[in-house]
Each structure stands twice: as C-alpha cells, then as structure tokens.
C-alpha cells in the first residue's frame, strides 16, 4: 500500500529568552493510506509540536521548523505557499485538538462553525452547507442534530463538544485525520465512546489517522503501528503487537509497566519511571533518557544512539538494547 504521509528528519525549535528549545529533533516516519499510527510519550516530549509542524501551525515567532521534509501525496508541505497550505488544511488533512472549548469560538453557533469550512472548501451555499452540517452531527451521534445547529458551544457537554470537533474535521472528507489527545479531559466512559466513534468513521470513510496520546491503552484498541517519543526524538517504533509483546527501549518498558492490569492481585505496585523529563534547552550529547535509565552505561551519556532494527518493522534507539531483550514490562515490585 502506498504511503500517504512521509515525514523525514523533521526539526522544530522555539527561540526563547532562555535559549533554543529543541522540541522536535529529526524525527522520521511513514503513514500508509487508511492506516492508523499512534504517537505516544509523556507531556513535553514533542508529540503535539510534531503534528502541528506537519500542519504548519507553529507560531513564528517564537517557533520555527528548521529542517526536514513532510511529503503528503508526493508534495512537500513545508515548501507550499501559505495559500496552497490553507487549501490542504481542512480539505485534505484535518485536526482534532485536545481541548474543544478553546478550539470552538464561544460566540458563534455550532452550525456556523461547521458550515464555514463547507462553504470555503466545498463551495456550498448556505442551504447546502446547513444540510450537510446536520448530517455530520448525526454521523457523530449527536441527537436531534438539525435542531442543535443553532446552539452555542457552552450548551454542549465536553464529550459532545469533542464530537462537534470531529464532525468539523470530517466535513470535507479528509484523507488524514490528526487527533491530538482528544479524550484527555473526558471521563473513561466518554473516552471509550470517542475512540469507538473514530474507529467506526475511519472504517466507513477509509481515512488515515494519527492519534496522539500518553495512554497506551487507547493505542492498543485503535492503531496498527506505534511511535514512542522522548525529548523530541523517536526512541522506538513497532507494530502494536510487537511493541506490547516485546518492548526494547527502557522508556517504553516503563510506560507499559505503569499500566494497571486486571489480572493483578490487589495492592500490587505500579512500575514508575524515576526522575524528571530533560531540559530541552540544555541538551547533553548522549541519550536524553540516560539520567532516568536503569540500564545506562558511560557510552549512553557520551553519544546519542540512532534508530536500529531489532526485528521486522521494529526499530529502537538504545545502546543497551541487547540487555532489554526478553524483559517483561509488567514485572511489578
């Protein structure tokens, strides 16, 4: 199957009074037509900045994409004129943001905000756009969809607002949907509903999905491949099955070990990743995870490892990857 998106050596930095923040440091990955890629990692690892860079939504200043290529259907998005990129956003690539209340305009009706994209990208008139907006709200399971078009964002619950954002994202039938932690602020039941909704719509519409999250449980239900990010780098990439069965990077082991399990005895302690995330301004020459790693050696602190294959479709950036082979991430204290 052909690649829909190819990210090559993407680098994004923020120029601040304290120094240069290296938010994304040369990441590369591919996404096939109709596939789902999960990007996981803790807060501040560069997940959101990486996809905002793909969409060219980095505020300049202080941010700047300083290197790399982003090919979408053969076109390098980083070289498109601003007007060309505006036609790509929404029409071909759509994004659902983490907090819908800050993404929706509080003084405009839901119907107006959905219709705006339809009139801009699809050339619809008011009547056509309103009918299509009602169809989209019904598609994302909002009851009495046609009657809710004249309501304002504050009249919807958090889960309903996120459904509205998904409806807006799907309004122009994009080839790629980017979801940036869309379930973070929702309770567990609503989270599950949103995940199932995206799965159903993805199968129905045949679009590709990039799902950004810190929750590996969500990725297990949704994605085929997983990219694990840490301190602006990709430190492991594999299929979902391979990553869960045989994680090789110590950070991935820690992430999986911190997940609670239903088959554990009451009172079993979760595994934690010790220490704090690194400062992205003052970077050491070695592996950024070394200060928190149980497997580190002097070599780890001197030189940054590159991604290397450890199996079919499985890559890891770790000097001590031979020591992590066969380690079970779910071992508890």
Helix 126-139 vs helix 158-170: angle between axes, to the nearest 10 degrees?
130
CA distance 49 to 62: 13
Residue 218 near residue 183, CB atoms below 8 Å: yes
Q: Would you tell me the crossing angle of helices 110-122 and 158-170 to the nearest 10 degrees? A: 10
Residue 51 contacts residue 98 (beta carbons within 8 Å): no
Omega prior to 148 cis, within 30 of 0: no
Measured CA to CA in angstroms, residue 197 lies from 166, 191, 203, 227 at distances of: 9, 10, 10, 22
In the 3-class helix/strand/coil scheme, how is 4-64 assigned residue by residue?
EEEEEEEEEEEEECCEEEEEEEEEEEEEECCCEEEEECCCCCCHHHHHHHHCCCCCCCCEE
State how far Cα 38 lies from the chain centre.
Answer: 6
Rounded Cα distance, 196 and 151, in Å? 25
Of the candidates 241, 247, 260, which has an alpha carbon nearest to the alpha carbon of residue 332?
260
pLDDT in tens, the chain (333 residues): 688 999 999 999 999 999 999 999 999 999 999 999 999 998 889 999 999 999 999 988 899 999 999 999 999 999 999 999 988 988 899 988 877 667 788 899 999 998 988 888 888 899 999 999 998 899 888 889 899 999 999 998 888 888 888 888 888 888 999 998 887 767 778 788 888 888 888 888 889 999 998 888 788 888 999 999 999 999 999 999 999 889 999 999 988 888 777 766 777 777 778 888 888 998 889 999 999 998 999 999 999 999 999 989 999 999 988 888 878 765 554
153-197 pLDDT, tens digit each: 999 888 888 888 888 888 888 899 999 888 776 777 878 888 888
The CA distance from 321 to 60, in Å, is 38
Q: Which two tokens mark 150?
A: 């004249």
């Amino acid at each position: 199957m052909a690649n829909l998106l190819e990210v090559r050596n993407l680098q994004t930095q923020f120029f601040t009074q304290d120094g240069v923040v290296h938010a994304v440091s040369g990441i590369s990955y591919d996404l096939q037509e109709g596939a789902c890629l999960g990007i996981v990692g803790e807060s501040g690892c560069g997940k959101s900045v990486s996809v905002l860079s793909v969409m060219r939504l980095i505020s300049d200043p202080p941010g700047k994409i300083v290197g790399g290529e982003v090919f979408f259907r053969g076109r390098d998005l980083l070289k498109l004129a601003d007007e060309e990129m505006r036609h790509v956003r929404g029409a071909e690539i759509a994004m659902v943001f983490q907090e819908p209340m800050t993404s929706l305009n509080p003084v405009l009706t839901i119907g107006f905000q959905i219709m705006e994209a339809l009139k801009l990208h699809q050339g619809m008139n008011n009547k056509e756009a309103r009918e299509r907006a009602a169809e989209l709200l019904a598609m994302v399971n909002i009851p009495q969809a046609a009657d809710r078009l004249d309501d304002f964002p504050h009249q919807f619950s958090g889960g309903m607002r996120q459904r509205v954002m998904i409806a807006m994202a799907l309004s122009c039938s994009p080839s790629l949907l980017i979801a940036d932690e869309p379930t973070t602020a929702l309770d567990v039941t609503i989270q599950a509903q949103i995940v199932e909704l995206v799965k159903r719509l993805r199968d129905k519409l045949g679009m590709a999905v990039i799902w950004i999250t810190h929750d590996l449980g969500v990725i297990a239900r949704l994605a085929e491949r997983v990219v694990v990010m840490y301190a602006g780098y990709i430190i492991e990439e594999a299929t979902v099955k391979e990553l869960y069965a045989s994680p090789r990077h110590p950070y991935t082991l820690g992430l999986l070990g911190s997940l609670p399990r239903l088959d554990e005895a009451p009172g079993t302690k979760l595994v934690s990743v010790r220490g704090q995330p690194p400062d992205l301004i003052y970077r050491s020459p070695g592996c950024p995870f070394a200060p928190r790693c149980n497997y580190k050696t002097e070599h780890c602190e001197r030189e940054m490892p590159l991604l290397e294959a450890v199996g079919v479709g499985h890559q890891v950036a770790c000097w001590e990857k031979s020591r992590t082979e066969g380690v079970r991430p779910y071992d508890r204290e």
